[in-house]
Structure 1
Amino acid sequence: MKKNILMIGGSCGIGNTIAKILMIDYQLYVASRTQKGLENIDAQHILFDATKDSLDKSLLPEDLHGFIFCPGSINLKPFKMMSMDIFKDDMELNFFSLVNTVKEIMPIMQEGSSMIFFSTVAVSVGMPFHTSVAGSKGAIEGFAKSLAAEYAPKIRVNVIAPSLVDTPLSSRLLSNEKKREMMALRHPLKRIGEKTDIANAAEFLISDKSSWMTGQVIGVDGGISTIKTN
């Protein structure tokens, strides 16, 4: 019998790639603001805006074995240009909506289940213009470690912290070949991340292959967070 996995987000970007991989071996439930992009994905869709809605639990199974929260934002501006509304909006999308959703589904998470959240390499590596996103994603890392401690050994909680990945969300940063080359050269592995790089890590963390891992922040970042080659 296939295990039940709930994904928040999945209609585009990294979440969509994760859904395409997981639908093969799992019973997938995807909650997102639109069904566009999910036409060829074998999953039950739930119309859901993480910043506004409560989950319709009648559309969920009685048991969940995995949970992946994909929504995120990239607001890269000098701090002096960041209004408080931007900080509040990023916290609402990246952190508070995650906490609220976790509260809603925690009663149906089963023994041995796995949760995956997303952070950013900018939390561990100070980067200019990342104050808002790093602040809200940093909250996720602290929350995940505390949650992992509180619910061990029943539920595993891990975080994936990517560097720059080629997605619609990062299109402005990769809008021409010069920008792409410059961004690639910043990473020791000399390339920009692909959606499959992150999706493969998520597939591992949601599975029993990672059953001895919890409370971890996994850098899938081309080496930029830990090594320097020039």
Structure 2
Amino acid sequence: MNGSNANFKGKNILIIGASSGIGHALAKQLENQGATLFTASRTKPEGINSTHTELDITGEIDNLQIPDELHGLVYCAGSINLKPFARLKMKDFENDLQVNVLGAVKVIQHSLKALKKADTSSIVLFSTVASKVGMNFHASIATAKSAVEGLAQSLAAELASQKTRVNVLAPSLTDTPLAKSLLSTDDKREASDKRHPLGRVGTAEDLASAAAFLLSDESTWITGQILGVDGGMGKVKLV
């Protein structure tokens, strides 16, 4: 999704978690397409021109800067906490829920009035292929991301009357700093590539392009959807 610079000209887009990974790749794409960016994360994204708020999503967000009119909101903050179920503590579940679900809830509530002021607006959240495909060691993150999907579909219904669309991207393993330890050696990367029907793990740009599409005017009849951007992992089995 790399359209002309006019594609997002005049559009205000808020990205939570734009300092690295998918959020940073998306910010670069949207800036190149003319968007006015508002970003929030612990550190300011490098090489991005945005109105930035230094923010810890597990705390208060009253200082989050947004414009009066907001055309798009992307919540990229997330976690990867893979452990055998017997080793997971309640704190692990609580932290995954705080970062992935409750953080999104806080940001969306903070932004509702601004989203409503736009003629049409779009919210993009992130889940995981593990919410639909059982994967060992994913109990905590799959629980949290399944809640994200439920939240999105409920909000899609509730916000349809104000022309705010809500959709979710559900990736498989993606080459970002968050997944660094899972791709830290050539052997790990090769094994991860082979698990995907399309023969490779995802890139930040793969997910950023999908998110840009869901933010754009090209997707104004799409809401309440969980879109698997996962190299075929969620639906395809090679025999």
Q: TM-score band, normalised by the shorter chain? A: over 0.9
In the alignment, is residue 199 of structure 1 matched against residue 208 of structure 2? yes
Q: Check the 8 A contact 1:55/1:101 in 2, yes or no.
A: no
Which ranges of structure 2 fall in alignment gaps of 5 or more residues?
Answer: 1-8
Residue identity matched to 2:51: Q
Aligned residue number for residue 63 of structure 1: 69
**1:107 Cα deviation from its structure 2 partner:** 1.2
Cα contact 2:66–2:111 (8 A) shared by 1: no
Correspondence for 2:89: 83
* 1:1-230 alignment runs, 5 A limit: 2-24=10-32, 25-35=34-44, 38-56=45-63, 59-109=65-115, 110-153=118-161, 154-230=163-239
SS of structure 1 residue aligned to 2:202: coil
Q: Which amino acid aligns with 2:173?
A: L
CA distance in 2, matches of 1:167, 1:56: 28
Runs of at least 4 residues off by over 2 Å: none
Supply the distance in 1 between the matched residues of 2:37 and 2:88 (Cα, whole angstroms). Answer: 38
Contact 2:120 2:164 in 1 (8 A): yes
Q: Which one is further off, 101-110 or 158-167? A: 101-110
Q: Distance in 1 between matches of 2:81 and 2:191?
A: 20
Q: How many residues align?
A: 227
Deviations 1:42-99 (A, max 9, x none): 2111111111022425x32110010000100000010000001100111011101111
**Backbone CA RMSD of aligned residues:** 1.0
How far residue 175 of structure 1 moved from its aligned partner, in angstroms, is 1.0
TM (norm. structure 1) is: 0.96
CA distance in 1: counterparts of 2:142 and 2:66, whole angstroms: 32
Task: Show the counterpart of 2:6.
Answer: none
**Conserved in 1, the CA contact under 8 Å of 2:128 and 2:142?**
yes
Which amino acid in the other structure matches residue 114 of structure 2? I
Tell me the CA shift for residue 108 of structure 1: 1.1
Amino acid at match of 2:94: K
**Distance in 2 between the 1:86 and 1:171 partners?**
19
Q: What does the per-residue CA deviation read over 1:162-202, in whole Å, with 9 as the maximum and x for residues that have no partner?
A: 00001111111111111111111111001111111001001
Taking every aligned residue pair, what percent have the same amino acid on both sides? 48
